[in-house]
A = this chain, B = another copy of it.
């Protein structure tokens, strides 16, 4: 399951949504937090913008690839859009699996591919410098 959220991510609720399955023995989660620094610049805030439908279809492809590569139970991703302050959670990835190998492998795979492929853009806001789209 993939979602974009304009409000702060509720990490406890996200985790709880993966809990019920008895055959799951491992949960690996990744959280990306807004840092106060980026390539030597002092960051005050970030703005994320996403192409929503395209994100959804690409995320589903990535989940399918993860399921083909690793024996997992559930995978869930939530990504923020809008303006975030330092310390806020930008992205949350959670993967459950019978065993830890698959949970670690799939969580890493999903996070790496999301970062590389999802049509999401990040604008960094600095102190005393104009804002900038990252990666451009």
Interface of chain A, helix or strand or loop or mixed?
mixed
A24's nearest neighbour on chain B, judged by CB, is B33
User: Is B100's CB under 8 angstroms from A35's CB?
Assistant: no
Q: How large is the interface on A (under 10, 10 to 19, 20 to 34, 35 or more residues)?
A: 20 to 34
Given contacts A28-B28, A29-B28, A29-B29, contact A36 B23 (CB under 8 A): yes
Question: A27 an interface residue at 8 Å Cβ cutoff?
Answer: yes
User: Is B87's CB under 8 angstroms from A22's CB?
Assistant: yes
User: What is the copy number of this chain in the assembly?
Assistant: 2
User: Is A30's CB under 8 angstroms from B28's CB?
Assistant: yes
Residues from chain B with a CB closer than 8 A to the CB of A60 are none
User: Is B104's CB under 8 angstroms from A32's CB?
Assistant: no
A89's nearest neighbour on chain B, judged by CB, is B27
Complex Cα–Cα for A22 and B87 (A) = 6
User: Is B25's CB under 8 angstroms from A86's CB?
Assistant: no
A96's nearest neighbour on chain B, judged by CB, is B33
Question: Which A residues fall within an 8 A CB radius of B?
Answer: 11-12, 15, 19, 22-37, 86-87, 98, 100, 103-104, 107-108, 111
- Counting from the closest, the 9 A-B pairs by CB-CB distance are A25-B35, A27-B31, A22-B36, A29-B29, A12-B12, A104-B108, A28-B30, A25-B33, A22-B86
Give me 8 A-to-B residue pairs in the complex whose CB atoms sit less than 8 angstroms apart, sorted by A's number: A23-B35, A24-B33, A25-B33, A26-B30, A26-B31, A35-B98, A104-B104, A104-B108
